[in-house]
Amino acid sequence: MRVLFIHADYIEFEAKSKAMKAAEEIERKRERYEECLVAFISVEEGDSSLLHKAVDEIEDVAKKVNAERIVLYPYAHLSSNLAGASEAMDVLRNLEEEMKKRGYEVHRAPFGWYKSFVISCKGHPLSELSKEIKSEEKEEESEALKAEKRTTYWYIMDTDGNLHSVEEFDYRDYPNLKKFADYEISGSRAAKEIPPHVKLMQSLEIADYEPGSDSGNMRYYPKGKLIKALIEEYVESRVLDYGAMQVETPIMYDYEHPSLKSYLNRFPARQYIVLSGRDKYFLRFAACFGQFLMMHDATISYKNLPLKIYELAKYSFRREQKGELSGLRRLRAFTMPDMHTLARDLREAMEEFKKQYEMAIEVLRDFGLSLGDYEVAIRFTRDFYEENKEFIKELVRLVDRPVLIQMWDERFFYFVLKFEFNFVDSLNKAAALSTVQIDVENAERYGITYYDENGEEKYPYILHCSPSGAVERVIYAMLEKADMDAKKGKKPMLPVWLSPTQIRIIPVRDEFTGCAIQEMDYFAKEGFRVDVDDRDLTVSRKIRDAEKEWIPYIVVMGEKEKERDILTVRIRGDGVKEMKREELLEILRNETEGKPKRRLPLPPLLSERPRFR
RNA sequence: GCCACCGUAGCUCAGUCGGUGGAGCGCCACCUUGGUAAGGUGGAGGUCGCGGGUUCGAUUCCCGCCGGUGGCUCCA
C-alpha cells in the first residue's frame, strides 16, 4: 500500500463521472472538509493483510500533525501494482472503520470515480509525506533482524584463543581493530571528507564516475581496465590451481522463479529490475543463483566432492542506497569473483574452509595487503563454536593477531561459520574483502544433492568463497593504503605487477629517442610494460610526470648511458642506481614472478597518448 | 529513501549584491635541445549541470530534476 499524506487547511472534491462499472454508489457528489489530514491511498495486491499496520501508520502521522479529521482518498496513481477493485474497496472501508474505532472523524472519497479536487496544503515540514506500507513477509524479516541484534555477542579472540569482551580488550597495539570493532558494533562513523582513493582513481586515470549511467556504475580508463584485468586473471588462476571449474551464468533471473523468490524474500535488499516485455527479471547480486541452478541439474557422486565451481560475476548488481555509494568502495555494479564448493559433510566443509582462508591471505598479500593491513572477523553460531573451539583458535593463530568474533545464539542467516578480511580506511570505515561462508541451508532450498557410497541422495554443505572480494574494492584498498603510505612520508605505489607502466624511459634529447625505443623493445619482448616519454619537455619535467604516475622504474637515456652501455634507473622510493639492462630485467622478473602479464594498455610513445582527465 | 552542502573552460577553482565571465594546470603553435619532481612566449577553448518560473534582461533569485559529497536509515 502506498499513501501520500497532505496536512490540509481544507480539501474540496466533486465526483464527476464513473471511472469503472464497479464504482460505488454515492449520495453527495460534492464535499468539503476543513483542517484535516488527507491520505491519498493506492491499495496494492495483498494489502488486505496489512490493515492494522496501515491503520497504525495513519494514526502515527495524524498524531504528529495533531489532526483529528481524516480524509481517505482513493488514488490509484501511486502504484503500478494495484489490487483489484473489490479488494481495494474492502481495504478502504475497513480502514475507515478501524480509524473510527480509534476515535477519529473519518471521511472517505468515493471509489471508482473521476473526481476534481482542490486542496490547500499547510506547507510545514510534516505536511507532505509519503509512505509505503510493506508486506508481512518483509515485516517478519525485520523482526528477525531485531532478534539477531538481541542475541548477538561480540568478543575479541587473542592469539592464544582466549575470548575478551570488546569493551575491555587492550587495543594499544591494534588501533585498527578497535576502529573495526566500533564500526561493526555501533556503526559509528564520523567521516566528512571525500575518501582519498576517489581523487587517486581519477588523477591516476584508473576509474571515474559516469554521469550517463546510474550512480555506482563506473567507467574504467585503459589503466584501470588493465589493473582490473590483471586482478581478475590472478584470482582466476588461484582458484583454478585450487581445483575449481570455471563457468558462466546469466546476469538476470526470473523474478517469479520459486527457489529464487524465497531467497530474494529472505534478503529483501534492493535489486535492479529488468523488464523483458511484461516479464520481470532481477539482475544478480552474486553468482549464487546461476551456480546453484547448474548444480541442481548436475549428477554428483561423493567421488566428485569436494566440488568447486568458479565464476567471475561481472557484473554483480546491488541497488545500494545512494548515500551509501562511495568511489570504488561501494558500487551498484561490481565484479565479484565467486566460488562455491560442495562438501559432503561438516568436516570436509571445514577442511576446505581453512584452505580457502589460507588462500585468501596469500591473495591479499599479492595485492600488497599483508596481515595487519586488514582486520579479521570470524562469525559463527554458538553451537558451532561449542563443537569446534579448536578450529576457531587455529584460524586465529594463522593470522597471528587478535580477531573480532561475532557469535549468535541462533542461526539467523544461511551460514554457521563465516570469516571476512576487512580493510579499515583513513576515514575509519571498514570494507569487507575476502570472505568464506559455510552454508547449511541452500542445498535444500535449491535441491542440490549428491549420491553417497550407499547410493543415497544427500544434501551437501556449500561454501561461498570470494578469495579477494570485489575487484573494484581491491583497487579501493590498494589506493587507500597507498594514500596512508604517502601520509607517512613513504612514496605511494601499486605492486609492480599491477603498475600500468613498469618502466618509463626518458631520452635526454630528441636524438636519444631512438635508443630509448630500442631499450623499450628489449623489455617489452620480455613481457614487461615499458614506454618512452618522447615529448618536447625538460628531463626534470618528464621525471616529475613519471613520479606522479607512480612508475616504479624510471630510466634516463643520454650520452653517458649510450657510451657505457648501461642504464641509469631511478627506483621508486630508493634513489638512482646505475645497472646493466640484464640486472633491471632480473629485478622486474623477481617482482612479478608468478603473476599474470598483460601488455601496455596505451600507446608506447607518450606523445601519442590522450589525456582522459 | 530522508536531510545538508556542492555543480562555472578538459582538470582544480575564483567571480558576478541580476546587465552573457576569470586564473593556474592541460591542449595547440612558436622559441628552447634539456641530466633526475614544473624552461619561456603566444593562442584556441564556456548554453556558468538540465528544465521551468520571476524579470526589460537570469550563470546570479525561486521551483523541479539530474549528478557529486557527507550524515541518518540500510548493507544477503
- Tell me: the pLDDT tens digits for A460-490? 999 999 999 999 999 999 999 999 998 888 9
CB < 7 A to strand B: residues 315-334, chain A? 318, 320-327, 330
Nucleotide nearest to A561 (CA to C1'): B35
Q: Which three cell numbers stand for residue A571?
A: 627506483
3-state secondary structure (DSSP) of residue A230: helix
Distance in Å from B6's C1' to A323's CA comes to: 15
ipTM > 0.90 for the complex = no
Lowest-pLDDT range, A63-67, A115-119, A356-360? A63-67
Residues 187-226 of A with CB under 7 A from strand B: 187-195, 198, 202, 209, 211, 214-216
Q: Could you read off the pLDDT of A528-553 as tens digits, one per residue? A: 999 999 999 999 999 999 999 999 99
Give residue A149's pLDDT.
62
- Cα distances (angstroms) measured from residue A601 to each of A221, A224, A315, A356, A494: 9, 9, 22, 32, 16
Indicate the pLDDT class of residue A586, thresholds 50, 70 and 90: very high
Average of pLDDT values for A570-580? 94
Model pLDDT, residue A135: 55
Average pLDDT score over chain A: 88
C-alpha cell at A363: 591473495
Q: Alpha helices of A370-470 — where are they, by DSSP H? A: 382-387, 389-399, 442-446
pLDDT band at A140 (very low <50, low <70, confident <90, very high): very low
Give CA–CA dist A396/A371, Å, rounded: 12
Give me A563's grid cell: 657510451
Does residue A137 surpass a pLDDT of 50? Answer: no
- Nucleotide B9 C1' to residue A613 CA (A): 13
Which residue has cell 590522450?
A610
The 10s digit of each residue's pLDDT in A204-230 is: 999 988 877 888 888 899 999 999 999
Q: How far is CA A417 from the centre of its chain?
A: 20
Mean pLDDT of A504-532: 96
The proportion of chain A whose per-residue pLDDT surpasses 90, expressed as a percent, equals 54
Nucleotide nearest to A431 (CA to C1'): B75
- Position A150 pLDDT exceeds 90: no
Around A100, how many Cα atoms within 13 Å sit in the side-chain half-sphere?
10
CA(A317)–C1'(B66) in Å? Answer: 22
A402: pLDDT strictly greater than 70: yes
Pair A463, A546: CB distance under 8 Å:
no
pLDDT interval class at A134 (50, 70, 90): low
Asked if strand B comes closer than 7 Å to A492 Cβ, the answer is no
Residue A446 DSSP SS3: helix
| Residue A267 DSSP symbol | S
Run of H or E residues at A404 = strand A403-408
Lowest-confidence pick of A211-220, A504-513, A572-581: A211-220
3-state secondary structure at position A225: helix
Rounded Cα distance, A286 and A263, in Å = 12
Whether the pLDDT of residue A361 is over 70: the answer is yes
Which residues does A112 contact at the CB level (< 8 Å), separation at least 6?
A18, A19, A20, A22, A23, A24, A74, A85, A89
